Chain A
Amino acid sequence: MSEEKVLLDHGSGGKVSHSMFSELILPLFKNDELSKQDDGAVLDFNSDLNQNSGGGLLAFSTDSYVVDPIFFPGGNIGDLAVNGTINDISMCGAQPKVISVGLIIEEGLLISDLRTILETMADCAKKAGVKIVTGDTKVVPKGKADKIFINTSGIGIIPPGVNVSGSNAKPGDKVIISGTIADHGIAVLTTREGLEFDSDIQTDSAPLNKMVSSILNCGADVHVLRDPTRGGLGTTLNEIAEQSGVGIKMYEPAIPVRGAVQGCCELLGFDPLYIANEGKLICFVPEKDAQKVLEVIKADEYGKDAVIIGEVQEADSGKVILETAIGGERLVDMLAGEQLPRIC
């Protein structure tokens, strides 16, 4: 017997759709709001906001996930979809509370694959302490989408007194990265291209909301939080330099890159500075707080390899400068487009 597949009927809104929701989706994502099966979730943040005595600011973010392949070493599209939005909200200094999930499925996707993805999403949400409160499923004819696309949106609550933004970097700030860079991009790329590297490179996809809470609660004056996803560390730092009107100097030997990742980059002609991460954050804090924040990040399960990689300077406003291992200096520009493999 062939394996069960997603059919157009699953997106019809009729009985088949309902049974997929009630038998597959709801049991995995179960919570009070979702169980009501209304057109939208009614959310009560009163107690959260009161606890925080006087905050009242919400963070709201959305992102769509179209990764190919949908399964890769260390995870799948479900990890990215949940952790990605959790992290985007966290980088606003907020504590993520609820997310929505929109599934666009290509007809013919194996139900078993869908189940794996949904289970992963449920696990990720649980781990991060976030509820999936509303959602939608559409099925499109074969060839009109690539297996599965997922959109997630989320809401988080910003504690009072927190003000982090890419435009808050100040000269003298230290730049901390929470661990090795480029793991995710290389894990996906080597799978996508069928490059059979004998390595254990895995995605770093992880929820960073707990790490962010610890950072914000340690008493440090946190200026910037960002997760260097698409475009990598190099692109993200350029965005911050531009937004804040400051220069950023990085020290090449300090930037943590796994040996196997570096090796793949060398072979393919990629610069790890521009490769995506899905479970790392960059934190800008004044020098006086840098050591404290570094210790806090290192104490988190996803921050063991955290290090200070550079600092903010007044000079070279809007630019990111890298001091290389040999003591030379060079510009780290934004990437023009996708990095292309070199030819010899």
Chain B
Amino acid sequence: MSLKYVEEYRDGALAKEIVKKIKAVSQKSLRLMEVCGTHTNSIFRHGIRSVLPENITLLSGPGCPVCVTAQKDIDAFVEFSRLDDVIVTTFGDLIRVPGSSSTLGKEKASGADVRIVYSLFDAVQIAKENKDKEVVFCAVGFETTIPTIAAGILGAISENLENFSIYSANKLTPPALAALMDTPGVVIDGFILPGHVSVITGTNAYRDTFEKYQIPSVISGFEPVDILNAVLMLIEQNEKGAPSLENAYPRAVSDTGNTKAQAIMAQVFELCDASWRGIGNIPSSGMTLKKEYQRFNAAQKFKMDMPDVPEPAGCACGKILMGLKTPLECGLYKKKCTPMTPVGPCMVSNEGACAAFYKYN
């Protein structure tokens, strides 16, 4: 396996050059938000905040799929694991996320059949090997994950699998950006747009949001040189007062994106309203299975409809996701809420702002 295209974007000397440029150009106090959990993780892991001038604040937006998953969806995942003859398959990050009364991890320890998978195809395979059981997949994730879920559903059809279903808590990025901009009190001077998501959606997916709000927006890769470069571009746009939508990740992202992935997504899923943790309902920001694929909808199949529940008292995850608070301003942070005893999801996932603050600061 070659690390080509990674090492050159971790080049210390090149990164230091960009930092120098940033310091030379930057005058205004700016709040720049990354909306991808992988960016959050990378920013902390490479110590990017520590090399930026003080007038540049990086905010972690609603880009960690686990963090934006509503409490009632987590409750549904837990509830599935309590059913007899059901195998719950999930990405690892979800295991420790607390629902109202339990976590998938705790249910597993009590004997529930909860299995960590790396992709939906693993879940489909488990369904094939366990025809006497029902296999439910907890579908969270953005545009990067949704096409593979769609492909998995088509795979299940071609295998004639009837014991497989998904609970879709999938979400789309551009509607969340618009919702943020419409939220009173939210101050954002630029978006570092997600690289992985954009590989699928293409630059064009952000054009409407950009036109409407005229907010500096730059698509970025995940290595330090990528991120610093995107930060520099956002600073330059702000300093010049000339917002634009730019692609700083052209080695992976095109204007139109991966049309094949988009097509398969559109074949299996359709838009729906979705509940985002902390933000609430955002119209047309979720993806639900189309009518002809409803037999794979676990919520339908098991008549699972969990009630809306308030988020844990004192948990600031929602405000943190919108850049209204930093983890340090949450009363639970490092006290009641730690990676060992998380209260909110931002403390669980590797890509959550609170977990990153806790781990790297």
Interface residues of A (CB under 8 A from B): 193, 195, 197-199, 253, 259-260, 262-264, 266, 268-269, 271, 322-331, 333, 336-337, 340-344
Contact = CB atoms under 8 A, between A and B. Distances in A.
Contacts of B3: 259, 262-263, 266
B91 A326 contact: no
Given A324-B46, A326-B228, A336-B339, 7 more contacts: A269-B350, A325-B46, A326-B12, A326-B16, A327-B51, A333-B358, A344-B145
B49 interface: yes
A324 B225 CA distance: 12
Nearest to A257: B3
Given A326-B51, A328-B49, A340 B224 contact: no
B178 interface: no
Contact of B92 (A325, A333, A341): A341
Given A330-B45, A342-B38, A325 B351 contact: no
B118 interface: yes
12 contacts: A266-B3, A326-B46, A328-B50, A328-B224, A330-B46, A337-B96, A341-B116, A342-B349, A343-B65, A343-B66, A343-B93, A344-B142
A336 B340 contact: yes
Nearest to A323: B47
B274 interface: no
B210 interface: no
Given A336-B339, A343-B65, A343-B92, A329 B47 contact: yes
Most buried by A among B11, B15, B145, B359: B359
B41 to A, nearest CB: 8
Contacts of A199: 1
B118 A195 contact: yes
Interface in B110-152: 116, 118, 140-142, 144-145
B213 interface: no
Contact of A344 (B15, B19, B196): B196
A253 B11 CA distance: 10
A343 B48 contact: no
Contacts of A329: 47, 50
Nearest to A194: B122
B325 interface: no
A59 to B, nearest CB: 32
Contacts of A322: 47
B52 to A, nearest CB: 9
A340 B118 contact: no
Contacts of B350: 269, 340, 342
Given A260-B1, A326-B19, A326-B224, A343 B140 contact: yes
Given A325-B10, A325-B15, A326-B15, A344 B51 contact: no
B48 A328 contact: yes
Interface string B69-96: 0000000000000000000000111111
Contacts of A327: 12, 15-16, 19, 47, 51
B2 A263 contact: yes
Given A330-B45, A341-B116, A325 B224 contact: yes
B272 interface: no
Contacts of B1: 197-199, 259-260, 263-264
A259 B93 CA distance: 26
B44 interface: yes
A163 to B, nearest CB: 34
Contacts of B224: 324-326, 328
A132 to B, nearest CB: 36
B37 interface: yes
A139 B91 CA distance: 36
B360 A344 contact: no
Interface string B259-291: 000000000000000000000000000000000
A48 B72 CA distance: 67
A344 B38 contact: yes
Contacts of A324: 45-47, 224
Contacts of A326: 10, 12, 15-16, 19, 46-48, 51, 224-225, 228
A328 to B, nearest CB: 2
Contacts of A337: 96, 339-340
Contact of A343 (B10, B50, B51, B141): B141
Contacts of A253: 12
B197 to A, nearest CB: 8
Nearest to A273: B45
A269 to B, nearest CB: 6
Contacts of A263: 1-3
Contacts of A264: 1
Given A341-B92, A342-B38, A343-B93, A328 B351 contact: no
